[in-house]
Amino acid sequence: MYRFATYVWRDTIRWKRAPLNVLSTLVMPATWLIFMGLVMPVKYDNYLDFVTPGILVLTMLTSSLGAGSSIMFDKTLGYLNKFLALPSPRESILIGKIVFITIRGLLQSTVILIISILIGATIYPISTYIGMYLLLTLFGISISALGTTVALYLDNHDSYAAFQAFVSMPLYFASTALISLDEMPTALRYIAEFNPLTYAIDGLRDIAKGIIPTFSICFLIILAILIMIICSWKFRSITIG
């Protein structure tokens, strides 16, 4: 199973050697944070503290959905076929992709946390940040596994891009990222209550308040396991064994 690390190594080098990629993955979320945190009208004590979890989760969402386009590239450019003919376990391709994408997302999250502190967010104790990272990791795994699964079903970049657009913005606005659940219009609330983003975001907010969000964590763990099962099943079924 250690071979997934080899795939992580490959993706990391490819990513590092494209300076524009690095810049955009790190600068984009920072821009969102600065706009949303500072420009939005303030009726909360500290809107920045309220909105940072939302930005973290949005970043993780966008970044993790990238797992799908990454595997789509490997598929359409023929890398995947080469990998599938290798004796190393096929699941390691999948795990490598999810691990790389999740780590990259956590890196972006770190940038956001640092900037949020620089522009006036509350500084929490270390244990709070550890909790946040754990939750973000769970969320990242679920979403990157989801992206990968969808990309395995689709056969070109356009359809995947459509899926990405179709999923990310609605999920984001129908979540508690920008306003809390009890301020939402009822219709939106129904969606928000089943939205994994809500669980991730509210979970982060609970952690910030020092509460352990047991329900959110369970929800995300079950989601992650479920999607991983579907994903590896799909992955097996596109080829033999």
The residue range among 13-21, 131-139, 142-150, 196-204 that interacts with another protein, by the rule CB under 8 A, is 13-21
- Distance in angstroms (rounded) separating the CA atoms of residues 50 and 57: 12
- Distance in angstroms (rounded) separating the CA atoms of residues 240 and 238: 7
- Distance in angstroms (rounded) separating the CA atoms of residues 149 and 76: 15
- Distance in angstroms (rounded) separating the CA atoms of residues 103 and 140: 9
> How many other CB atoms sit within 10 Å of the CB of residue 101?
29
3-state secondary structure of 123: coil
Residue closer to another protein by CB (options 39, 85) is 85
Q: Is 12 in the site for another protein (CB under 8 A)?
A: no
Residue closer to another protein by CB (options 104, 205) is 104
Binding mask 220-239 for another protein (x = CB under 8 A): -------------------x
Q: Let me know: does 139 contact 65? Beta carbons within 8 Å.
A: no
Binding mask 176-205 for another protein (x = CB under 8 A): ------------------------------
Q: Is 20 in the site for another protein (CB under 8 A)?
A: no
Phi, psi of 45, deg, nearest 5 = -60, -50
The residue range among 61-69, 70-78, 147-155, 199-207 that interacts with another protein, by the rule CB under 8 A, is 70-78
Sites of contact with another protein (CB under 8 A): 3, 6, 9-10, 13-14, 17-18, 76-79, 81-88, 239-241
